[in-house]
């Protein structure tokens, strides 16, 4: 299946939903890394999560999910742009027992930060503690605390694939409070019957029919998703220049060259002695 996210709306109510299914993007993110299986699963869930959350963006920009803690996974980072470009990474220690994959075991006590960065305008950040056993539970806590919108998420990951389902109740516009309350309880109960294997392996049309055949939602056109990295030679060059002339001169004297590797896509950019000397000259 092509990587995509499918928005769906329930007529005469203020409840929306989103389905995300990604495979080639997850494979590309994991490529070149030696992540343990439990960490791969966590990355896949994070990728599905940011794709779901980015559907709330009403402007050009980027949404990032970052979780840090005291466990063997010290950093989990996933990003999605308004046009569906995904990337993610994790940093972890070696020599661990990776048999358990819950977020408290992997990341431990820590925080989760949701950062929204528009191409124009001010950046927004929401910070919540990692208080749930799963990434979905932690994100539901974020919505309850920061957005104050009733939200449920289901995330699944495995075999280089990931998927996610989101239900969210919006402020009353099309229906009354009582009507939205009743519909929310009904839809949430139906969605809770979904098995993670179904979410991961069935196409979105089948999933939506199985769950909501008695209240079929409206389906706008699906949006494609794909892996995308913002690294470039110019960015790496600017990163080296930012070290300052003293550091650059030391690199030139000791090694005569430097190679930078992108943590996301593993792309390498090589700068030789001529390049380093030119950066030093510009700095002067």
**pLDDT tens digit sequence for 99-123:** 667 888 899 889 999 999 998 888 9
State residue 60's pLDDT score.
85
Architecture (CATH level 2) of domain 4-227: 3-Layer(bab) Sandwich (3.55)
CATH (residue range 233-283): 3.90.1280.10
State residue 166's pLDDT score.
96
Would you tell me how many other CB atoms lie within 10 Å of the CB of residue 225? 26
Average pLDDT taken over every residue of the chain: 91
**pLDDT tens digit sequence for 45-89:** 999 999 999 987 778 889 999 999 988 999 999 999 999 999 999
The rounded percent of the chain whose pLDDT value lies above 70 is 97
State residue 218's pLDDT score.
94
pTM of the model: 0.89
Of the pLDDT bands very low, low, confident and very high (cuts 50, 70, 90), residue 153 is very high
State residue 1's pLDDT score.
65
State residue 52's pLDDT score.
95
> What is the maximum alpha-carbon separation in the chain?
73
- Structural domain boundaries in the chain: 4-227, 233-283
State residue 99's pLDDT score.
67
Q: Rounded to an integer, what distance in angstroms lies between the CA atom of residue 43 and that of residue 78?
A: 8
**pLDDT tens digit sequence for 218-276:** 999 999 999 998 888 998 999 899 889 999 999 889 888 999 988 888 888 999 999 99
Per-residue pLDDT, averaged over 203-210, amounts to: 95
């Amino acid at each position: 299946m092509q990587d995509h996210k499918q928005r769906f709306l329930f007529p005469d109510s203020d409840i929306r939903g989103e389905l995300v299914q990604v495979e080639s993007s997850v494979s590309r993110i994991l490529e070149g890394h030696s992540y343990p299986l439990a960490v791969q699963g966590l990355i896949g869930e994070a990728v599905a999560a940011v794709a779901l959350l980015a559907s709330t963006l009403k402007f050009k920009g980027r949404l990032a999910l970052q979780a840090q803690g005291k466990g063997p996974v010290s950093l989990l980072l996933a990003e999605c742009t308004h046009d569906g470009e995904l990337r993610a990474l994790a940093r972890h220690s070696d020599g661990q027992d990776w048999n358990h994959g819950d977020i408290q075991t992997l990341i431990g006590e820590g925080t989760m930060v949701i950062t929204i960065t528009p191409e124009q305008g001010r950046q927004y950040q929401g910070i919540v503690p990692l208080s749930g056993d799963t990434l979905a539970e932690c994100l539901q806590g974020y919505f309850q605390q920061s957005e104050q919108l009733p939200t449920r998420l289901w995330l699944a990951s495995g075999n280089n694939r990931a998927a996610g389902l989101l239900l969210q109740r919006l402020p009353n516009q099309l229906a009354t409070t009582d009507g939205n309350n009743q519909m929310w309880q009904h839809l949430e109960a139906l969605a809770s019957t979904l098995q993670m294997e179904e979410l991961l392996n069935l196409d979105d049309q089948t999933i939506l029919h199985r769950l909501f055949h008695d209240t079929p939602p409206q389906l706008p056109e699906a949006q494609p998703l794909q892996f995308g990295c913002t690294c470039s030679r110019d960015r790496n060059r600017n990163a080296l220049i930012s070290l300052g002339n003293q550091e650059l001169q030391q690199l030139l004297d000791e090694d005569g060259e430097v190679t930078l590797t992108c943590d996301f896509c593993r792309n390498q950019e090589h700068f030789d002695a001529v390049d380093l000397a030119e950066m030093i000259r510009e700095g002067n």
